[in-house]
Amino acid sequence: MNNDKLTLAQHGARIEEFLDTVLDLADFDVDFEVSEGETLHPDFENPDLVVRFSGPDVGDLLANKAEVLLALEQLTMEALRLGPEEHSRLCFDANDHRMLRIQELRMSAQAAAERVRKTRAPFHFSPMNSRERRILHLALRDEAGIRSESVGEGPIRQVVIVPEDMKTMPEPIRPPRPRPESPGRPFERGGRGRHPDRRGGPRNRQGGRGPR
């Protein structure tokens, strides 16, 4: 793992340039700002940099459990060539989604732990990225009578809770395959074409679009 901290001076411009390109190609009407990380939840995540989004289309980033926001985060990490163990250093957020998600994961972890203690049957969470799996593990570290591990590889890697005396971890559960959809360009929403009045001008340093 690279121990060098991500800094706004070194990485801010690269993040902004990459996101400008992707957001303009995807035709999202959103602004963003890259800032130094905050320790709102130091026990669960302490990112070096945070990218916050706002604007008319921010709801599209947060739809379906924020899948587009998380996809943008993953693509940016790959553009910065961050390894999986470094993903906690960069955080994307909008409308305090991260804070609410941490609370949701903590409550889900506690409820699942209680269920495993009562039933002694393994509990599988849905596949998650490395940051969210880490939050679950941290939320479960002090729970008595159970233990948690990540199982599976790649997109199906998921957290499983089992009784602490269970020696063999269960296999991951593969989620059902999504139904095939009509072809469209990446991030296309409802087949909408690019609006003639929303051609992407350059964004300013804080992520807002310049004059159009």
Tens of pLDDT, residue by residue over 141-191, are 999 999 999 999 988 999 999 999 998 889 998 877 766 655 555 555 544
pLDDT score of 88 = 77
For residue 80, pLDDT beyond 80: yes
Cβ proximity of 11 and 80 under 8 Å: yes
> For 95, phi and psi rounded to 5 degrees?
50, 40
Q: Is the pTM of this model over 0.75?
A: no
Task: List the structure tokens of 138.
Answer: 């941290």
For residue 49, pLDDT beyond 80: yes
User: For residues 160 and 170, what is the distance between their CA atoms, to the nearest angstrom?
Assistant: 8
* Cα 210 to chain centroid, rounded: 28
Domains of the chain, earliest start first: 8-100 (3.30.300), 101-163 (3.30.1370.50)
Top pLDDT among 187 and 197 is at 187
User: For residues 76 and 38, what is the distance between their CA atoms, to the nearest angstrom?
Assistant: 19
